Amino acid sequence: QVQLVESGGGLVQPGGSLRLSCEPSGFTLDSVVIGWFRQVPGKEREGVACMPNNGGNAWYGDSLRGRFTVSRDNAKNTASLQMNSLTPEDTAVYYCAAGRSSTSAHDMCQRRLVAYWGEGTQVTVSS
C-alpha cells in the first residue's frame, strides 16, 4: 500500500522553527520528486517547496526561499522541510507529496502534479 506519513507539526511562537518529516511506505523516495504543500481553510493548496530526484535545484514558493529548506535522505528514505523564522501567515496544514520523476520540481509545485499525498500535519504559529 502506497502511503506518505508526515510528522513534526505543532504549535510554535512567531520567529520559531519547526522541522517536518515525511516517510513513505510502498515505494522509495529516490524514485520520485518530493514536495511540500500547505493549505488554509477557504484557500487552494499551494506549493511550498519541491525537490527533484536527479540532483537538480529545488523550487520554493514566493518569500519562502531562505526561510524554508526542503531536503531528502535517500539512504533513510525520508524527506524533510526545515522551517525557520515562522510567522502567523505560515499557519496551515502541511502536506508531503510525491510526483513522477519525469515531472519538474517547478511543475509539481506550481501545477500540483502530484501522484501521492500524505494526510497532512497542522502547523500553528501563534504567541
Torsion of CA 116, 93, 6, 88, to 10 degrees: 140
Q: Is the pLDDT of residue 1 over 90?
A: no
Model pLDDT for residues 13-40, shown as the tens digit of each residue = 999 999 999 999 999 998 999 999 999 9
* φ and ψ of 113, to 5 deg: -85, 80
- Mean pLDDT computed over 34-49: 97
Q: Which three cell numbers stand for residue 55?
A: 540532483
pLDDT at 2 over 90: no
Question: Exposed (0-12), middle (13-18) or buried (19+): which is 99, by Cβ within 10 Å?
Answer: buried
pLDDT of 49 higher than 90: yes
